Chains A and B, each alone.
Chain A
């Protein structure tokens, strides 16, 4: 259509036109579709789970239910086998149709999952969506294991896993609690790209891990993750700089860390004390949390002894 040859003054609406508009809008608004999706008809007897969140996938593997996984998200990197499953993409940009195409009968997700509209669409299609909130307390992780075990009909395995984790936890925490040496001040740096360097402040997940290994978070000036500022780093005077393996690679190894603004003027920089652990291992808060505490503790002890 084009507006050439249009009568210029067309302000008055005729009854017929009003009527037409009304009818058209009524028609548009009343698109009634059969809504009862019998996804049930597609359901096989076998459970098919789409797991969104690395820790949840890890727990499902630990409970011996990996054969029920129909798909996982991009953070499900452990165990290695999980990376072979269909990937539904990044947890925050899920696709309703993509997930439904995997014919799941349960979607289990962390609170990160989204967009909300997509989760609503999946629920509306008759596939239950359960959101299990993440937690950086050990008790919270145990609770998550128990709840997930209930969801996928493996309460006994979940109880066994919880018991095992508790034993491991005791073993991991004992030497830390018994230690008398002063707690090191640690600066945690998260880096996704060379230009984007963030520091873990109060209440960040990194701080939770530091407290469990008896270390101090050197940064107390702000909450959560914030961009690195040289003055804040110097003011924090950390004894150790802690990275994820991935982040350490991105900034260019230990020499790259020392080149970050401010780091060279701290005890950590002067003594080249840089520690790192694999990101999902250190901050996954899954079944490997006790081992992660031990590993982090060892890594910090090792650099502090230099």
Chain B
């Protein structure tokens, strides 16, 4: 009962905001995308296949198996990763007061990719024998550690260089990016032919690994992140006035900065670790939202999440159903579908003004 009461209080808490039209609209679009994505794919799925949860028919038909064990977890995973990227992008752009900033700029993505590259090349070259059970985890954990490591380094170096200056942080991020790119380049040079191919695949990004445990973990992470973001958004809004102004209204800029950075590192590190580098969404999702509802972080953060989820879900559904039975790397479609839409939106907004 307790849980139900909690759930009700939670929903009523959120419903006040749910009456914003963009949220309704985007949620509906996302639901529609889910519906289409569930029916799209190589294996035909019948209405019966949806019922196996209640009917417990054994053995499963191929449609039911694919739907429940492969397609649905992958769809949820795509939407969640998209949401994570959209949220990270909104936070990063708000923090730097720079519409071109995205987690890629911070060096988070390159940090993760760099750690993965080092793992693929150095660990494989060193001949250390990893137990089979662990192999699955080595690369994601390394990428995650790389992202978090870069962020901690970023924060330390930036603060040591230029106390409290966002420009210093941005420049440090750019320097770390260059460093990570150099290390990846070195790994590419040292890699054997085989390692090189797995390295390039990994930097393309793929959502094929989506599974229920992963979806559950990422959902929890996202809910926790939202919880945390809720308390940061007002401060983020104050920061839009500039650092000095924010400090005058009682915001501890340094604390805020560190919190946002760690949060972005966690979110991006996790998603990059499990599906490689997927660019573009972190940059564009917040922009699309900003064009429609303006720069208020209280709306921007959750809406950017929804837009990110929609973009990545649509892109991944396209990637897995255009060339059946083959699959096309998802990174191609995020830009291919997102960029024209973004351009159209930009021009229409300009005309409106």
Known contacts: A8-B231, A8-B234, A36-B59. The answer to whether A20 contacts B326 by CB under 8 A is no
Distance A102 CA – B56 CA, assembled complex (angstroms): 25
Q: CB distance A92 to B7 under 8 Å?
A: no
Known contacts: A89-B323, A102-B325, A117-B209. The answer to whether A4 contacts B17 by CB under 8 A is yes
The listed residue (B61, B66, B206) touching A97 by CB distance below 8 A is B66
Q: CB distance A98 to B62 under 8 Å?
A: no
B129: Cβ under 8 A from any A Cβ: no
From residue 15 to 67 of chain A, which have CB atoms closer than 8 A to chain B?
Answer: 15-17, 19-21, 23-25, 28-29, 31, 33-42
Per-residue interface assignment for chain B, residues 3 to 26, with 1 indicating a CB less than 8 Å from any chain A CB and 0 otherwise: 101110110011011101001000
Per-residue interface assignment for chain A, residues 95 to 130, with 1 indicating a CB less than 8 Å from any chain B CB and 0 otherwise: 111111111000000011011111001001100000
The listed residue (B2, B196, B201, B208) touching A96 by CB distance below 8 A is B208
Q: CB distance B192 to A100 under 8 Å?
A: no
A-side contacts of B62, CB under 8 Å: 37, 39, 42, 100, 103
> Which of B9, B298, B324, B327: most chain A CB closer than 10 A?
B327
Q: CB distance A89 to B327 under 8 Å?
A: yes
Q: CB distance B201 to A97 under 8 Å?
A: no
Distance A115 CA – B6 CA, assembled complex (angstroms): 41
Q: CB distance B325 to A4 under 8 Å?
A: no
Per-residue interface assignment for chain B, residues 53 to 66, with 1 indicating a CB less than 8 Å from any chain A CB and 0 otherwise: 10011111110011
B163: Cβ under 8 A from any A Cβ: no
Per-residue interface assignment for chain B, residues 105 to 138, with 1 indicating a CB less than 8 Å from any chain A CB and 0 otherwise: 0000000000000000000000000000000100
Known contacts: A8-B234, A34-B58. The answer to whether A17 contacts B10 by CB under 8 A is yes
Distance A121 CA – B320 CA, assembled complex (angstroms): 15
A-B pairs under 8 A by CB, number:
189
Find the B residue at minimum CB distance from A203.
B192
A11: Cβ under 8 A from any B Cβ: yes
Q: CB distance B193 to A204 under 8 Å?
A: yes
Distance A286 CA – B127 CA, assembled complex (angstroms): 29
B75 to chain A, nearest CB (A): 11
Q: CB distance B70 to A25 under 8 Å?
A: no
Number of residues on chain B facing chain A (CB within 8 A): 72
A305: Cβ under 8 A from any B Cβ: no
From residue 7 to 47 of chain B, which have CB atoms closer than 8 A to chain A?
Answer: 7, 9-10, 13-14, 16-18, 20, 23, 41-43
Known contacts: A14-B6, A115-B209. The answer to whether A92 contacts B42 by CB under 8 A is no
B-side contacts of A90, CB under 8 Å: 326
Q: CB distance B17 to A100 under 8 Å?
A: no
Q: CB distance A98 to B23 under 8 Å?
A: no
Distance A123 CA – B57 CA, assembled complex (angstroms): 21
**At the interface, is chain B mostly helix, strand, loop or mixed?**
helix
A270: Cβ under 8 A from any B Cβ: no
Q: CB distance B41 to A114 under 8 Å?
A: no
Distance A39 CA – B212 CA, assembled complex (angstroms): 21
A76: Cβ under 8 A from any B Cβ: no
From residue 292 to 307 of chain B, which have CB atoms closer than 8 A to chain A?
Answer: 296-299, 301-303
Which stretch of A151-159, A218-226, A251-259, A291-299 is in the interface? A218-226
A: interface residue count bin: 35 or more
B56 to chain A, nearest CB (A): 6
B327 to chain A, nearest CB (A): 3
Q: CB distance B216 to A29 under 8 Å?
A: yes
Distance A97 CA – B66 CA, assembled complex (angstroms): 7
A244: Cβ under 8 A from any B Cβ: no
A-side contacts of B204, CB under 8 Å: 93
A205 to chain B, nearest CB (A): 8
The listed residue (B16, B43, B194, B219) touching A5 by CB distance below 8 A is B16
B252: Cβ under 8 A from any A Cβ: no
Distance A256 CA – B15 CA, assembled complex (angstroms): 67
Q: CB distance A29 to B213 under 8 Å?
A: yes
A-side contacts of B246, CB under 8 Å: none
B189: Cβ under 8 A from any A Cβ: yes
- A/B interface sample: 30 pairs, CB < 8 A: A1-B18, A2-B18, A2-B303, A3-B297, A4-B296, A4-B299, A6-B298, A16-B2, A16-B3, A16-B5, A19-B3, A28-B219, A37-B59, A37-B60, A37-B69, A38-B60, A41-B61, A88-B325, A89-B323, A93-B206, A95-B208, A97-B42, A97-B71, A98-B327, A100-B62, A100-B65, A103-B62, A115-B206, A117-B209, A121-B70
Q: Which residues of A contact B (CB under 8 A)?
A: 1-6, 8-11, 14-17, 19-21, 23-25, 28-29, 31, 33-42, 71, 74, 86-90, 92-103, 111-112, 114-118, 121, 124-125, 204, 223-226
Q: A2-B302, A111-B194, A112-B194 are in contact. List 18 more A-B contacts (CB 8 A).
A: A5-B17, A10-B231, A16-B5, A20-B10, A28-B216, A31-B216, A34-B52, A35-B69, A38-B59, A89-B326, A93-B327, A95-B320, A97-B320, A98-B325, A98-B326, A117-B208, A124-B69, A225-B196
Q: Which residues of B contact A (CB under 8 A)?
A: 2-3, 5-7, 9-10, 13-14, 16-18, 20, 23, 41-43, 52-53, 56-62, 65-66, 68-71, 136, 189, 192-194, 196-198, 201, 204, 206, 208-209, 212-213, 215-216, 219-220, 223, 229-231, 233-234, 296-299, 301-303, 320, 323-329
What 7 A-B pairs are tightest by C-beta distance, nearest first? Answer: A38-B59, A89-B326, A98-B325, A2-B17, A95-B327, A20-B6, A101-B42
